[in-house]
């Protein structure tokens, strides 16, 4: 026992390495993890004090635990067995497929990444690109939602800036979990989006196993009080008008709702409108082709943001007018009663989004010029004022007491965007920009009866028919 043992230096170094790893994994790392976990829990407790809707335990669960809970869910297990039988594969192969779907869907939320980085980034980006305006009723609508309910924001989809804008506006009240399409599944954006609590969905997947895993995750998150946000249109509007809703995610929420349960689901219609949609040319080109293939790359988006920041640092006003958000009248799923027809519920939600759509300067000017032709600046101001007075007052975002300034600013933004031009004191729509101008007018077209201040039905529907029809 006391004899000297001679070892090669490489073997001695290997033994020391194994000993160090063992000590690290069994003694040091658990203590470090416990220390940081305690600090994290205290930070979340302090954060929850200032949030109107505190972060729920479901959202703070470890990603691995959520994946395990999801794939061992009884409904998912039954679907795994059906998948194995239908596709004539072993159960373990079907189980592995469900695990892949779960890993693809389940986010890895980080409160630190969300509040220390995502919120600040969203604020800087949103305020660098737009002047932000919110409807007067927004705070009251959100405050009225009972604490034992799960809010679900149901939004129209005008731009990819919608994500940034609503996340920024909701940062003082709660965290949001978005359903994000496959466009964002690129590194490093995908990792950041997962840390911010969003989950990826396959828009074109028709497999029953995938749909079951996705539906059960959405239902678990909602039942756990995790505030949700989704776009019933299923994608960006190519025409500027609200598109017919898809009922996929909505049907998952309805199917998983227990009217006798402790937690209600409250749908909050959210209407978003812009003086300028950043992707407008891309969207109109896709509509003209009759497809939804968007040519914009993530590198183009990043380069655009960097240029805007650089110009802002140099003292230039880089904003593209106003972006506005308005909350509509919520719908309690418990008060709604048994949902016999999900399509009817989705149509009601879209109608409530339409009812509070913000009316901005650019859509007003576009509507008047499309309906009445070239106008001098004073005539345009008067026509915009008359048109705005016929619309719901709570939806008109512009300052009616400063109508001249508002119209001038809208015209300047449209001229910089290449939509209109001033010739001999008269504002004209530029040649070839009729469809682009209609794109903006369409955002408020549902408010307008056919008449001298509006646009006729045929014109309003110019962008609604597929290309080549």
Structure tokens at 51: 């949030």
Determine the pLDDT at residue 454: 44
Condensed to tens digits (0 to 9), the pLDDT of residues 262-272 reads 889 999 999 99
- In terms of domains, do 343 and 392 share one? no
Edge-to-edge order in the sheet of strand 420-423: 375-376, 426-429, 420-423
- In terms of domains, do 247 and 396 share one? no
Determine the pLDDT at residue 54: 63
User: Domain tally for the chain?
Assistant: 2
Q: Which helix (H) or strand (E) holds 141?
A: helix 138-143
- In terms of domains, do 192 and 264 share one? yes
Q: Give domain status of residue 311, yes or no.
A: no
Written as one string, the DSSP assignment of 190-229 is HHHHHHTT-EE--TT---HHHHHHHHHHHHHHHHTT--EE
Locus of tokens 């997962």: 194
* Residue span of the structural domain in which 436 resides: 361-447
Please write down the HEC assignment for all residues of 29-58: HHHHHHHHHHHHHHHHHHHHHHCCCCCCHH
Among residues 181, 149, 151, the alpha carbon closest in space to that of 166 is found at 151
Residue 52, pLDDT above cutoff 60 = yes
Q: Give domain status of residue 106, yes or no.
A: yes
Residue 406, pLDDT above cutoff 90 = yes
Plot region of 373 (φ>0 → left; ψ -120 to 50 → alpha; else → beta):
left
Determine the pLDDT at residue 292: 72
Residues sharing a CB contact under 8 Å with residue 22, sequence separation 6 or more, in sequence order: none
- In terms of domains, do 332 and 416 share one? no
Domain CATH for 422: 1.10.3380.30
pLDDT band at 452 (very low <50, low <70, confident <90, very high): very low
- In terms of domains, do 388 and 329 share one? no
CA–CA distance, 232 with 245 (Å, rounded to integer): 5
Written as one string, the DSSP assignment of 377-425 is HHHHHHHHHHHHHTS-GGGB-S-GGGHHHHHHHHHHHHHHTTSEEEETT
Residues sharing a CB contact under 8 Å with residue 298, sequence separation 6 or more, in sequence order: 186, 189
Number of other CB atoms surrounding residue 216 within 10 Å: 22
Q: Which of 328, 355, 382 is the last residue of a domain?
A: 355
Residue 298, pLDDT above cutoff 80 = no
Helix (H, G, I), strand (E, B) or coil at 98: helix
Number of other CB atoms surrounding residue 96 within 10 Å: 14
Number of other CB atoms surrounding residue 450 within 10 Å: 12
Number of other CB atoms surrounding residue 196 within 10 Å: 26
Residue 391, pLDDT above cutoff 90 = yes
> Phi and psi of 199, rounded to 5°?
-130, 145
Positive or negative, the CA dihedral 325, 189, 39, 120 is negative
- In terms of domains, do 173 and 158 share one? yes
- In terms of domains, do 351 and 366 share one? no
Q: Give domain status of residue 11, yes or no.
A: no
Round the CA-based radius of gyration of the chain to a whole number and report it.
26
Q: 41 vs 194, which has greater pLDDT? A: 194
Q: Give domain status of residue 45, yes or no.
A: no
- In terms of domains, do 252 and 203 share one? yes
Structure tokens at 410: 């809208």
Q: Give domain status of residue 214, yes or no.
A: yes
- In terms of domains, do 253 and 370 share one? no
Q: What is the mean pLDDT of the chain?
A: 81
Q: Give domain status of residue 457, yes or no.
A: no
- How much is the average pLDDT of 130-154? 89
Among residues 459, 287, 461, the alpha carbon closest in space to that of 373 is found at 459
CA–CA distance, 271 with 324 (Å, rounded to integer): 8
Q: Give domain status of residue 426, yes or no.
A: yes
Highest mean pLDDT among 101-110, 161-170, 230-239, 340-349: 340-349
Domain CATH for 343: 3.40.1130.10
Q: How far is CA 240 from the centre of its chain?
A: 17
pLDDT band at 42 (very low <50, low <70, confident <90, very high): low
Residue 233, pLDDT above cutoff 60 = yes
Q: 60 vs 396, which has greater pLDDT? A: 396
- In terms of domains, do 331 and 376 share one? no
- In terms of domains, do 252 and 396 share one? no
- In terms of domains, do 343 and 406 share one? no
CA–CA distance, 103 with 197 (Å, rounded to integer): 14
Structure tokens at 334: 């418990």
Structure tokens at 317: 């006003």
Q: Give domain status of residue 35, yes or no.
A: no
The pTM is what?
0.81
């Amino acid at each position: 026992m006391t004899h000297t043992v001679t070892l090669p230096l490489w073997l001695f170094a290997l033994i020391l390495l194994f000993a160090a790893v063992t000590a690290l994994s069994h003694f040091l790392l658990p203590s470090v993890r416990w220390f940081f976990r305690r600090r994290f829990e205290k930070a979340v407790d302090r954060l929850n004090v200032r949030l109107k809707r505190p972060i729920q335990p479901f959202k703070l669960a470890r990603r691995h635990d959520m994946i395990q809970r999801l794939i061992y869910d009884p409904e998912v297990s039954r679907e795994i067995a059906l998948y194995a039988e239908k596709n004539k594969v072993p159960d373990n192969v079907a189980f592995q497929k469900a695990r892949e779907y779960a890993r693809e869907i389940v986010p890895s939320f980080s409160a630190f990444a969300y509040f220390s980085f995502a919120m600040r980034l969203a604020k800087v980006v949103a305020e660098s690109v737009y002047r932000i305006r919110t409807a007067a009723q927004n705070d009251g609508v959100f405050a009225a939602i009972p604490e034992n309910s799960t809010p679900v924001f149901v939004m129209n989809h005008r731009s990819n800036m919608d994500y940034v804008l609503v996340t920024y506006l909701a940062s003082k009240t709660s965290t949001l979990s978005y359903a994000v399409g496959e466009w964002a599944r690129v590194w490093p954006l995908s990792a950041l989006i997962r840390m911010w609590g969003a989950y990826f969905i396959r828009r074109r997947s028709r497999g029953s196993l995938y749909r079951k895993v996705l539906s059960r995750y959405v239902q678990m998150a909602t039942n756990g009080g995790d505030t949700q946000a989704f776009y019933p249109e299923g994608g960006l509007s190519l025409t500027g008008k609200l598109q017919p809703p898809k009922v996929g995610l909505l049907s998952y929420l309805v199917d998983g709702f227990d009217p006798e349960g402790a937690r209600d689901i409250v749908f909050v219609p959210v209407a978003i409108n812009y003086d300028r949609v950043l992707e407008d040319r891309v969207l109109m080109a896709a509509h003209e082709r009759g497809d939804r293939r968007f040519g914009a790359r993530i590198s183009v988006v990043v380069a655009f943001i960097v240029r805007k920041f650089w110009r802002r640092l140099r003292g230039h006003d880089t904003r593209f007018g106003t972006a506005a958000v308005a909350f509509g009248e919520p719908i309690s799923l418990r008060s709604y009663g048994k949902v016999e027809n999900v399509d009817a519920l989705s149509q009601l939600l879209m109608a409530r989004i339409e009812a509070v759509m913000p009316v901005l300067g650019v859509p007003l000017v576009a509507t008047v010029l499309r309906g009445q032709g070239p106008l001098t600046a004073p005539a345009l101001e008067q026509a915009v004022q008359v048109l705005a007075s016929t619309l719901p007052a709570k939806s008109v975002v512009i300052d009616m007491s400063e109508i001249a300034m508002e119209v001038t600013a809208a015209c300047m933004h449209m001229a910089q965007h290449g939509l209109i031009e001033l010739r001999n004191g008269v504002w004209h729509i530029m040649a070839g920009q009729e469809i682009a101008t209609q794109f903006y007018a369409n955002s408020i077209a549902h408010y307008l009866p056919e008449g001298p201040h509006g646009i006729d039905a045929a014109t309003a529907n110019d962008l609604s028919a597929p290309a080549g029809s």
